[in-house]
Amino acid sequence: QQKIRIGITGYGNLGKGAEIAVNQNPDMELVAVFSRRKLSGTKSGVPAILLDEAEKYRDQIDAMLLCGGSATDLVEQGPRLASVFNTVDSFDTHAKIPDYFSAMDAAAKSAGKVATISIGWDPGLFSLNRLLGGAVLPHGKDYTFWGKGVSQGHSDAIRRIPGVKDAKQYTVPKQEMLEAVRAGQEAPSAANETHSRECYVVAEQGADLALIESAIQTMPHYFAGYETTVTFVSEAEFQAQHAGIPHGGVVFRTGQTSPGVGHVVEFSLALASNPEFTASVLTAYARAAYRLSRQGAAGAYTIFDIPPGHLLPQSPEELRKLLL
Compare residues 16 and 254 and give the one whose CB is closer to ligand NDP.
16
Q: Are strands 227-232 and 195-203 parallel, antiparallel or unpaired?
A: parallel
Contact pattern from residue 91 through residue 130 relative to ligand NDP, giving x for each residue in contact according to CB under 6 A and a dash for the rest: -x---------------------------xxxxx------
Q: How does DSSP assign 3-27, residue by residue?
A: PEEEEEE--SHHHHHHHHHHTT-TT
Judged by CB under 6 A, which of 28, 30, 49, 67 binds ligand NDP? 67
Compare residues 25 and 278 and give the one whose CB is closer to ligand NDP.
278
Q: Nearest 5 degrees, angle CA 178-CA 282-CA 88?
A: 125
**Does residue number 274 form part of the binding site for ligand NDP (CB under 6 A)?**
yes
Contacts of 18 (CB under 8 A, 6+ apart): 8, 65, 67, 279, 282, 283
Judged by CB under 6 A, which of 90, 144, 169, 171 binds ligand NDP? 90
Q: Which stretch binds ligand NDP (CB under 6 A): 32-40, 187-195, 248-256, 287-295?
A: 32-40
Contact 290, 63 (CB under 8 A): yes
Judged by CB under 6 A, which of 4, 5, 6, 13 binds ligand NDP? 13
**Does residue number 194 form part of the binding site for ligand NDP (CB under 6 A)?**
no
Using alpha carbons, select from 28, 53, 49, 30 the residue that is nearest to residue 39.
Answer: 49
Contacts of 58 (CB under 8 A, 6+ apart): 84, 85
Rounded to the nearest whole angstrom, what is the least distance from the CB of residue 256 to ligand NDP in the complex? 31
Sheet holding 247-258, edge to edge: 140-146, 247-258, 261-271
**Does residue number 70 form part of the binding site for ligand NDP (CB under 6 A)?**
yes
Judged by CB under 6 A, which of 19, 62, 73, 105 binds ligand NDP? 73
**Does residue number 37 form part of the binding site for ligand NDP (CB under 6 A)?**
yes
DSSP letter, residue 257: E
**Does residue number 159 form part of the binding site for ligand NDP (CB under 6 A)?**
no
Which parts of this chain interact with ligand NDP (CB under 6 A)? 10-15, 35-37, 51, 67-70, 73, 90, 92, 120-124, 152, 274-275, 278
